[in-house]
Amino acid sequence: MGKKEDTKNIAMLFADGVKEQHPGDLPIIQQQNGKDCFILEIPPKDSDLFKQNFLLDDDETILLARDTSTWNKRKEGLVITDRRIVYIPGKRDPHGRRYVIDFGSFIQVTYDAQRLLFWSSEDNFFAIPSVFFFKARLKSYDADRAIHMLSKMLTKIAKLNGGVIQNP
């Protein structure tokens, strides 16, 4: 499969997954609020700011964007694109780092109540707090279920990309 086809498949899998409704659960897409949490439909002005501040390529499609910066400046938070996840913890990281997780660099994603764990081997993972994916505006059960469903969907995306372990 070519790179363009891979990104198209990721975007389709993501779009289907966030709209999917399980009995008793709200679909993931209900977590968006149009202010600091966007899923699939990111206004052009916001998309441009996220691309600039998260150092994304012009041809990357943003699937989910969560802004955790002060005054919604789109400078910190998390972005999921059709190629990768980019995480900027901002004030939570005194070194001002930007983390990039390519979809082929993890084999599984799990959830442990407050964070998503991106496993690159049986004993090595990278953790991102769940608040960087969604803003808890719905009752906590719905937010927890959405994070759990997102972890399953990201695992499917990893498997679509071969889920190979890459050295950082």
The CATH number of whichever domain residue 48 belongs to comes to 2.30.29
Are 165 and 107 in contact by the 8 Å Cβ rule? The answer is yes
In what side-by-side order are the strands of the sheet with 108-111? 108-111, 115-121, 124-129
In a domain? residue 168: no
The pair phi, psi for residue 55, each rounded to 5°, is 55, 50
In a domain? residue 166: no
Residue-wise pLDDT tens digits, 38-89: 999 999 999 999 999 999 999 999 999 999 988 778 889 999 999 999 999 9
Reduce the DSSP state of residue 26 to 3 states and report it: coil
In a domain? residue 66: yes
In a domain? residue 80: yes
pTM for the structure as a whole: 0.88
Domains of the chain: total: 1
In a domain? residue 144: yes
In a domain? residue 60: yes
Give the highest mean pLDDT range of 35-39, 84-88, 137-141: 84-88
Burial class of residue 4 (count of CB atoms within 10 Å of its CB; 0-12, 13-18, 19+): exposed
In a domain? residue 167: no
Domain enclosing residue 25, as ranges:
3-160
Rounded CA separation 31/12 (Å): 19
Rounded CA separation 30/74 (Å): 21
